[in-house]
C-alpha cells in the first residue's frame, strides 16, 4: 500500500524512510535513546523550527478532540496542552474564536441543537459548558475523576462523560447541571459515542480488564441503554487493548461499530519483534445487538488488522465514518497516517469470512489489503478525525503539530492543513514528546513509546517478556512513566541507573531491533518523560487532610511494632523500602519473596508508591491484581512487610492510605 503524502502546499511531511527509524520501547520504566546521529527521524517536518529554549508546555495547543457544527461550517477543537477550545471556520480555515476552559481538555461534544459545547477537563475533573456561538463559558459541571470522552443524549437532556481515572461514566442532568448517576465502565474508559438511533451510548475502555497476566487481555466495550440509563451490555473484545474512538457505520453500510485497537503478543519474548507480528494494530468491527436492552451475547465482535505485512500503522486513535457510509477513516497516531477503509469491502470481508475463520482475521496481516484503499500521510500524531456532513471532507487533528489536516475525500488527498497557531519554535520537551508518539523508529513501525505507555505515560497494565528469550521466563509488569523523575534506577531488575541508559544500545539491540536515537534525541525524550506528572490524586480530600481510615492506614505504614508490641525489623518496615523522602521508594532492589520459579532473579527494584492506586496490577510480574492481593496472597512469610498480624479492617486502612500517595 502506497502512502500518499500531504499536499505540497504544506510541504515537508513526507518521511524519508518510514521504516528506517527506530522506536524506543520502554516497558520497565522509560524510554531512552540510542545514539545514532547519522539516522534522521522519519517524522514529518512540521512548520516551525527546533529550539533548545524553554517554552512551557502550555504554550503548545495539542489539538486532541474535535466536533463539527451540523452544517459543517464550524470546527470546534479542544487543545489539551493550552487548555483552550478553538472554533475554526472550515471555509476560511481560520481560528475564529477561542476560550479558556479547565485543565487538560480532552473531549468535546456539541448539543443536538448545536448551541452548546461541552468540554471535558481531565485534570480538573469537570466539564465546561460553552455557548457555541459566543464562546462564553456558561457553567462548569462537576463530574468524576479524569473525564475525557463525552456526548449528550439525542434530546440534549443528559450528558454522558467517561471518567478515565474513576473507571466510570458520569450522567449529568443538563437542566440542573448536576451529576445524577454514575455507572461503572470497564478499565480506563476514554471515548464515548452516541448510537445513530440515540438508543445507546458506547464507551470504549483504553485498558483491558484487570485479569491474570498470563492470559490474553480482554477489553470491554460498555453499552449504556439511554432509555433506562443503565449499562445494558459489557461486550468482550478479546485479545486487544487501547480501544479509542468509536464510530458507527450507517445501517446501509452494515451498521458496524468500528473501534481502533492494539493487539499485543506480550507474553512472547520481545526479541520476536524482529520477526514482526508482535504488536499489531487494527479495528474491532462490532455488530450491535438489535435492541438497546440486549445483553453482551447479542453483540458480534470481529477484529481486523489495519497493518500491512511489513509495515505497521501504530496506535490507532480516531475513527470516523462518512455520513454516506462509504468510507471509514482511522488515524494511526504513531505512524502519522490516516487509513481509508472502504466500508463495503470491509463488510464483504466480514460477511464472507466463515465464523470458524473470524478469529483468524484478527491475526492476519494481509486483511487490510482487502478493505484499506488508501493511506494518507498527515501531520504529527494525528488523533481525532471527523467527516463533514456532506461526506466530502475529513478533518484530522495533528496533536504534535498544532494543525488540522483537511482531506478531500473525493480526490482522496490532503487538501490543506490548517495552522491553529501554536508556537513555531519547538522546545526540547516538545521534541521529546514528538519522539514519544512516533513509531517510525521501530522495526516495521510496530510501536512507539506511547504504544505501551498510552494516555501519555500510563502503564498498559500488561506483563511483558522483555529480556529472556525463553517463553515464560522473566515476565515483568509494565510500569508507569508518571512522576518517575527521581525514582532511578529503572527496570524491575534495577540495572539502569538513569533514563539515559535505560534503553541504551543493548536494549535497542535486543528489544527494539532497530537503530537508536541521537544523543540529542535521548536528551529530548528524557526531558519529556521527566516532565510527566502524576494527576492530582482524587483519593485525597480537597483540603489535603487524610480521612480517619487513611490516617489509621498511615500509622500502620509508619509503624515499627506489631499489633502485639513486638519490634519490627527495620528492614521489614514499610517506610524503609518505600521511603517517603524519595517518592516512596528507597531506590534499591529487595527480595520480598515474590519471585517465582520463572524468574532468574529474586530481588526486584522497589517501585515508587506515588500514584499506586492507578497502577494495577502489582508486583514485578503483575500477579497481584489488586493491592489487597499483595498481602493476602503473595506475602505468606511476612517478607513484604509484616502484615499477618493485621486484621482485615487494618489492611483496608493501609490500602486507603496507599491510595492517597
Partner 1 sequence: MERASAASHGRKILWAVGILILATGMAAAQNPSFYTKWTNYTSANGFPPGEVYCVTVDGNRVWAGTGHGLVLLENGRVQKVFTTKDGLAGSAVMSVAVDQLTGDVWIGTFGGLSRYSGGQFKNYTNLTSGLANDLVYGVAVQGQYLWVATTAGVNRLDTHTGSWSIFNESNAPFEEPWTYGISVGAEKIYFAVWGGGVLSYDRANHYWKPYTDPDGEMELVLYRNQGLIHNIVSSVSWNPDTKTFWASTYFGLSSYDGRNWHNYLTKDSGLPSNFINAVKSRGNQVWACTQKGLSEFNPTTNTWVTYRPDLKTGRGEILITRPDGSKRQIASSSTLAHNYILNLDFQGDDLWVATANGLSHGTRQPRKVAAIPR
Partner 2 sequence: MKGRNVVFLNIRNGFAILIFALACILVTSARSQSTASTPAKPAPTAIPYANMPPAAVPFGRYRKPYQDWFVDSSTLEYYGAARERPDGDLAALKTINIGFLGPLDANNYDSPYGIAMLHGSQMAVDDANAHGGYHGKPFALKVHDDLPLWGASSMAIVNMVYDDRDWVMLGSVDSSSTHIELRATLKLELPIMDTATNDPTVTQTRIPWLMHNFPDDRQQGYALADYIFNQRHLKRVGILQVNNRYGRAGKDVFFETARRIGHQPLVEVWYAPDTTDFSAQLETLKSSGIDGLVIWGDAAQAGLVLKQMRAMGMRQPVFGSSRICYPEVLKIAGPAAEGLVTISAIDPTRTDPAWQQFRQRFLARFHTEPDAYAAYAYDGMNIAIAAIKKAGLNRGTIMDALRQYEMTRYTGVSGTAFFDYTLNNIAPVTFAEVHNGQFVYWPEQRTDWHGKPVSFLR
Q: Under the rule (CB under 8 A), what is the footprint of partner 2?
A: 564-565, 632, 644, 648, 651
8 A C-beta contact, residue 63 and residue 77: yes
Q: For the CB of residue 157, give the shortest distance to partner 1 in the complex, in Å.
A: 16
Cβ closest to partner 2, residue 9 vs residue 567: 567
Q: For the CB of residue 654, give the shortest distance to partner 2 in the complex, in Å.
A: 13
Q: For the CB of residue 644, give the shortest distance to partner 2 in the complex, in Å.
A: 6
Cβ closest to partner 1, residue 290 vs residue 567: 290
Question: Residue 285 binds which one of partner 2, partner 1, none, with CB within 5 to 8 A depending on kind?
Answer: none
Q: Which of 199, 209, 202, 285 is nearest to 249 (CA)?
A: 285
Beta strands in 358-455 (DSSP E): 372-377, 382-387, 393-398, 403-408, 413-419, 425-426
Residues 539-558 that bind partner 1 (CB under 8 A): 539, 549
Cβ closest to partner 2, residue 501 vs residue 650: 650
Q: For the CB of residue 565, give the shortest distance to partner 2 in the complex, in Å.
A: 8
Q: What are the two backbone dihedrals, phi and then psi, of residue 110, each rounded to the nearest 5 degrees? A: -110, 140
Question: Residue 234 binds which one of partner 2, partner 1, none, with CB within 5 to 8 A depending on kind?
Answer: partner 1
8 A C-beta contact, residue 343 and residue 327: yes
Cβ closest to partner 2, residue 544 vs residue 565: 565
Task: Give the long-range contacts of residues 469-474, CB within 8 A, separation 24 or more.
Answer: 469/269, 469/271, 470/269, 471/267, 471/268, 471/269, 472/267, 472/598, 473/598, 473/599, 473/600, 474/598, 474/599, 474/600, 474/601
Q: For the CB of residue 538, give the shortest distance to partner 1 in the complex, in Å.
A: 8
Residues 34-73 that bind partner 1 (CB under 8 A): none
Question: Residue 212 binds which one of partner 2, partner 1, none, with CB within 5 to 8 A depending on kind?
Answer: none
Q: For the CB of residue 314, give the shortest distance to partner 1 in the complex, in Å.
A: 30
Provide CB contacts within 8 A for 574, sequence distance 6+: 556, 557, 558, 559, 641
Determine, following the binding rule CB under 8 A, whether residue 625 of this chain makes contact with partner 1.
yes
Q: For the CB of residue 433, give the shortest distance to partner 2 in the complex, in Å.
A: 45
Determine, following the binding rule CB under 8 A, whether residue 628 of this chain makes contact with partner 1.
yes
Determine, following the binding rule CB under 8 A, whether residue 561 of this chain makes contact with partner 1.
no
Q: For the CB of residue 174, give the shortest distance to partner 1 in the complex, in Å.
A: 18
x/- track of binding to partner 1 for residues 632-661 (CB under 8 A) = xx-------------xxx-xx--xx--x--
x/- track of binding to partner 1 for residues 257-296 (CB under 8 A) = --------------------------------------xx
Question: Residue 641 binds which one of partner 1, partner 2, none, with CB within 5 to 8 A depending on kind?
Answer: none
Determine, following the binding rule CB under 8 A, whether residue 131 of this chain makes contact with partner 1.
no
8 A C-beta contact, residue 280 and residue 263: yes
Alpha-carbon distance of 66 to 87, in angstroms, equals 10
Question: Residue 564 binds which one of partner 2, partner 1, none, with CB within 5 to 8 A depending on kind?
Answer: partner 2
Q: For the CB of residue 322, give the shortest distance to partner 1 in the complex, in Å.
A: 30
Number of residues that bind partner 1 (CB under 8 A): 36
Q: For the CB of residue 247, give the shortest distance to partner 1 in the complex, in Å.
A: 21
Cβ closest to partner 2, residue 471 vs residue 649: 649
Determine, following the binding rule CB under 8 A, whether residue 234 of this chain makes contact with partner 1.
yes
Q: For the CB of residue 563, give the shortest distance to partner 1 in the complex, in Å.
A: 12
Q: For the CB of residue 645, give the shortest distance to partner 2 in the complex, in Å.
A: 9
Helices and strands, number each (H, E), in the chain: 13, 35
Cβ closest to partner 1, residue 222 vs residue 459: 222
Q: For the CB of residue 130, give the shortest distance to partner 2 in the complex, in Å.
A: 51
Alpha-carbon distance of 258 to 321, in angstroms, equals 9
Question: Residue 626 binds which one of partner 2, partner 1, none, with CB within 5 to 8 A depending on kind?
Answer: partner 1
Query: Which of 408, 485, 629, 638 contacts partner 1 by CB under 8 A?
Result: 629
Q: Which residues pair with 179 in a beta bridge?
A: 172
Residue 428 burial class via C-beta count within 10 angstroms: exposed 0-12, middle 13-18, buried 19 and up: buried
8 A C-beta contact, residue 78 and residue 63: yes
Q: Which of 537, 595, 524 is nearest to 123 (CA)?
A: 537
Cβ closest to partner 2, residue 88 vs residue 556: 556
Question: Residue 251 binds which one of partner 1, partner 2, none, with CB within 5 to 8 A depending on kind?
Answer: none
Determine, following the binding rule CB under 8 A, whether residue 372 of this chain makes contact with partner 1.
no
Instruction: Please give the full DSSP string across 611-656, using - where no structure is assigned.
Output: TGGG--SBSTTS-BSSHHHHHHTS-TTS-SSS-TT--HHHHHHHHH
Determine, following the binding rule CB under 8 A, whether residue 182 of this chain makes contact with partner 1.
yes
Provide CB contacts within 8 A for 640, sequence distance 6+: 592, 593, 594, 630, 631, 634
- DSSP helix/strand/coil, 159: strand
Cβ closest to partner 2, residue 600 vs residue 644: 644
Cβ closest to partner 1, residue 353 vs residue 616: 616
8 A C-beta contact, residue 18 and residue 335: yes
8 A C-beta contact, residue 474 and residue 463: no
Q: Which of 603, 602, 624, 601 is nearest to 612 (CA)?
A: 624
For CA atoms 98, 102, 108, 109, the dihedral sign is negative
Q: 531-553 in b/e burial notation, b at 16+ Cβ within 10 A? A: ebebbebbbeeeeeebeeebebb
Residue 20 burial class via C-beta count within 10 angstroms: exposed 0-12, middle 13-18, buried 19 and up: middle
Degrees, nearest 5: CA angle 192-195-196: 135
Residues near partner 1 (CB under 8 A): 144, 166, 168, 181-184, 222-223, 228, 230-234, 236, 295-297, 538-539, 549, 625-626, 628-629, 632-633, 647-649, 651-652, 655-656, 659
Amino acid at each position: 500500500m502506497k502512502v500518499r503524502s500531504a499536499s505540497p502546499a504544506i510541504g515537508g511531511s513526507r518521511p524519508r524512510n518510514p521504516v528506517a527509524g527506530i522506536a524506543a520501547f520502554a516497558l520497565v520504566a522509560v524510554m531512552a535513546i540510542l545514539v545514532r546521529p547519522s539516522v534522521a527521524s522519519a517524522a514529518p517536518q512540521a512548520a516551525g523550527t527546533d529550539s533548545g529554549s524553554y517554552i512551557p508546555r502550555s504554550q503548545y495547543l495539542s489539538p486532541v478532540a474535535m466536533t463539527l457544527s451540523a452544517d459543517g461550517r464550524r470546527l470546534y477543537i479542544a487543545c489539551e496542552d493550552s487548555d483552550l477550545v478553538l472554533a475554526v471556520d472550515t471555509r476560511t480555515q481560520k481560528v475564529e474564536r477561542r476560550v479558556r476552559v479547565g485543565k487538560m481538555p480532552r473531549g468535546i461534544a456539541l448539543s443536538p441543537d448545536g448551541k452548546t459545547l461541552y468540554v471535558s477537563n481531565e485534570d480538573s475533573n469537570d466539564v465546561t459548558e460553552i455557548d457555541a456561538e459566543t464562546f462564553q463559558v456558561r457553567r462548569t459541571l462537576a463530574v468524576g475523576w479524569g473525564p475525557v470522552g463525552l456526548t449528550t443524549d439525542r434530546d440534549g437532556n443528559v450528558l454522558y462523560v467517561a471518567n478515565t481515572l474513576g473507571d466510570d461514566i458520569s450522567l449529568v442532568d443538563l437542566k440542573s447541571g448536576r451529576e445524577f448517576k454514575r455507572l461503572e465502565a470497564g478499565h480506563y474508559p476514554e471515548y464515548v459515542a452516541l448510537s445513530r438511533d440515540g438508543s445507546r451510548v458506547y464507551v470504549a475502555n483504553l485498558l483491558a480488564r484487570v485479569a491474570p497476566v498470563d492470559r490474553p487481555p480482554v477489553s470491554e466495550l460498555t453499552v449504556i441503554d439511554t432509555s433506562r440509563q443503565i449499562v445494558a451490555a459489557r461486550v468482550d473484545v478479546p485479545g486487544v487493548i487501547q480501544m479509542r474512538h468509536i464510530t458507527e457505520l450507517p445501517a446501509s453500510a452494515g451498521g458496524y461499530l468500528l473501534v481502533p485497537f492494539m493487539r499485543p503478543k506480550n507474553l512472547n519474548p520481545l526479541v520476536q519483534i524482529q520477526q514482526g507480528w508482535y504488536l499489531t494494530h487494527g479495528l474491532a468491527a462490532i455488530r450491535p445487538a438489535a435492541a438497546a436492552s440486549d445483553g453482551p451475547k447479542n453483540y458480534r465482535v470481529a477484529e481486523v488488522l489495519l497493518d500491512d505485512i511489513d509495515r505497521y500503522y501504530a496506535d490507532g486513535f480516531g475513527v470516523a465514518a462518512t455520513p454516506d457510509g462509504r468510507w471509514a477513516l482511522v488515524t494511526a497516531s504513531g505512524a502519522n497516517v490516516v487509513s481509508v477503509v472502504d466500508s463495503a469491502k470491509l463488510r464483504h470481508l466480514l460477511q464472507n469470512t466463515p465464523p470458524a475463520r473470524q478469529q483468524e482475521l484478527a491475526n492476519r496481516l494481509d486483511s487490510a489489503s482487502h478493505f484499506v484503499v488508501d493511506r494518507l500521510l498527515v501531520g504529527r500524531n494525528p488523533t481525532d478525525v471527523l467527516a463533514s456532513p456532506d461526506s466530502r471532507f475529513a478533518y484530522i487533528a495533528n496533536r504534535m503539530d498544532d494543525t488540522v489536516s483537511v482531506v478531500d475525500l473525493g480526490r482522496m488527498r490532503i487538501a490543506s492543513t490548517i495552522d491553529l497557531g501554536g508556537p513555531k519554535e519547538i522546545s526540547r520537551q516538545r521534541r521529546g514528546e514528538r519522539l514519544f508518539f512516533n513509531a517510525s523508529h521501530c522495526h516495521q513501525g510496530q510501536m512507539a513509546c506511547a504504544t505501551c505507555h498510552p494516555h501519555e505515560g500510563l502503564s498498559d497494565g500488561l506483563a511483558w517478556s522483555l529480556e529472556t528469550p525463553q517463553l515464560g521466563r522473566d515476565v515483568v509488569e509494565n510500569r508507569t512513566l508518571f512522576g518517575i523523575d527521581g525514582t532511578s534506577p529503572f527496570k524491575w531488575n534495577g540495572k539502569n541507573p538513569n533514563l539515559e541508559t535505560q534503553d541504551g544500545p543493548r536494549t535497542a539491540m535486543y528489544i527494539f531491533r532497530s537503530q537508536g536515537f541521537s544523543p540529542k534525541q535521548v536528551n529530548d525524550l528524557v526531558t519529556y518523560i521527566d516532565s510527566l506528572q502524576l494527576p492530582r490524586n482524587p483519593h485525597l480530600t480537597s483540603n489535603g487532610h487524610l480521612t480517619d481510615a487513611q490516617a489509621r492506614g498511615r500509622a500502620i505504614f509508619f509503624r515499627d511494632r506489631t499489633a502485639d508490641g513486638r519490634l519490627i525489623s527495620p528492614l521489614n518496615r514499610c517506610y524503609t523500602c518505600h521511603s517517603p523522602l524519595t517518592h516512596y521508594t528507597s531506590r534499591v532492589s529487595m527480595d520480598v519473596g515474590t519471585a517465582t520459579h520463572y524468574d532468574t532473579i529474586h530481588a526486584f527494584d522497589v517501585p515508587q508508591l506515588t500514584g499506586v492506586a492507578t497502577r494495577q496490577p502489582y508486583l514485578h510480574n503483575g500477579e497481584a491484581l489488586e493491592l489487597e492481593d499483595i498481602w493476602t496472597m503473595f506475602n505468606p512469610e511476612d517478607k513484604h512487610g509484616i502484615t499477618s498480624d493485621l486484621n482485615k479492617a487494618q489492611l483496608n486502612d493501609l490500602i486507603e492510605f496507599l491510595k492517597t500517595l
